Amino acid sequence: MSGLIQREGLRVVVGLGKTGLSCVRYLRQLGYKVAVNDTRTNPPNLAELQAEFADVEVSLGQLDEVLLLKAHEIIVSPGISIQEPALLSAHLNAGIKIIGDIELFCRAVDKPIVAITGSNAKSTVTTLVGLMAQNAGVKVAVGGNLGTPVLELLQEDADLYVLELSSFQLETTHSLRAAAATVLNISEDHMDRYANLMAYHKAKHRIYRNCHFYVTNRQDMLTTPLLPDSLPNTSFGLDKPDLRSFGIIKEQGKSYLAKGQTKLLDTAEMALFGEHNMANALAALALGEAVNLPMDAMLDTLKTFTGLAHRCQLVATQQGVAWYNDSKGTNVGATLAAINGLGASISGKVILIAGGVGKGQDFSPLSPALAQYGKAVLLMGEDAPKIDQALQLNISKSYVSDLNHAVNTAQQLAQQGDVVLLSPACASFDMFKNYEDRGNQFVASVKRAIF
């Protein structure tokens, strides 16, 4: 990848976050002429870009239609909608291809890729598969929508790549040929970017294009692709599996992860808690087996992996009450999984803290789970009234002004066996910097209140 070659055609990188800067570096390394466009007047990484590449043209403040029309290709960061009029015009009227960093990565890589998407749990499953490969002695690189920008993974000596992919990334990816691909689940999310659920569904299903093996969720038919049965595949679910699939076998009061009739692991030996994490474990096992990871190494990983921060993370247990930080639960599907996963595994009830920016979602699907497992709902943030209106419940609902208020109220309501769950079903930017900030503030509030 010599920088001495001057390749033909201008590449315009739109968006100067971490992904955008990694694209500029990669394209310049390949010898392309690059320009940058960002709608912000002072985007992050601007000083770094200008120090590193003083000759790169930079246009700020809005999408620059004149610059975009000069491009041979436009590389768009995931945070920018490809439905923006200036981008649509460049693509539809001028025939300019719009791609993302994942597409650049897929063009370059010649090693197998495990590709993972879904409305929820994709970070957990991606991390799990990566750790399983590492524990098996495989040289693995993990990234994409999670952690390291994907183009930086090309610098690693890897024999396997495990990628978390968002719907936005998949929209601009054309050359993915995954060794194993999955859509873990689909529920309403990013309805501020998509016309309807089917448009979102269509974007997610791009992960299955030209894949060699696919994994579906038996309990979510929206994950099943329109692909021939002759293509190798398997499924996972919390029911009893058939001969080729992964599921749960229940015997004498115990639950086992299983493939077909073979019991693999007593779920009590897993470091992760809750039925939703059993599903995550089964998905990871199915994907790992598809790329020939040894079962023993994968099962050993499940005994030690305690989960990711802000994703149903156990914060503390005090006087028989467990406090969970699921701040990454930014949509209804994630919160539903957390309520059902924890609710089915405890003796008491769930006290839910929810609210924030709802992104146009329908919150009514939370009602049946809360009716079954809930004790109270504490609502905060911009869309608290919308959630309140959507939840038809006989359990307590009340408004709280902030997380300290929520934690103190929950502490008064909770009894032994109960769970207090921060799983907002909403984005965080009305009250917090991001979901990590929201989760960290919750953890701090809990520790102040109970210790």
Q: What is the largest CA-CA distance in the chain?
A: 70
- What residues have CB less than 8 Å from 85, skipping those under 6 apart? none
CB atoms within 10 A of CB 314: 15
Cβ–Cβ < 8 Å for 348, 419? yes
Catalytic residue among 45, 135, 185, 190: 190
Instruction: Assess whether 37 carries a catalytic annotation.
Output: no
CA atoms within 13 A on the CB side of 94: 20
Cβ–Cβ < 8 Å for 32, 9? yes
Strand partners, 427: 357
Q: Is 132 helix (H, G, I), strand (E, B) or coil?
A: helix
Q: Which two tokens stand for residue 48?
A: 């770094």
Going from the C-alpha of 112 to that of each of 160, 178, 191, 410, the distances in angstroms are 5, 7, 32, 47
Instruction: Please report where in the chains the tokens 């208020």 appear, as a residue.
Output: 405
Residue 48, Ramachandran bin (φ over 0: left; ψ between -120 and 50: alpha; else beta): alpha
Report which of 237, 255, 235 is spatially closest to residue 245, judged by C-alpha positions.
Answer: 235
Work out the burial of residue 316: count CB atoms within 10 Å of its CB; fewer than 13 is exposed, 13-18 middle, 19 or more buried. middle
Cβ–Cβ < 8 Å for 60, 41? yes
Instruction: Assess whether 145 carries a catalytic annotation.
Output: yes
CB atoms within 10 A of CB 412: 7
Cβ–Cβ < 8 Å for 84, 269? no
Catalytic residue among 122, 259, 276, 349: 122
As a whole number of Å, the CA-based R_g of the chain is: 23
Catalytic residue among 145, 185, 217, 280: 145
Report which of 13, 73, 75 is spatially closest to residue 45, judged by C-alpha positions.
Answer: 13
Which residues form the catalytic set?
122, 145, 190
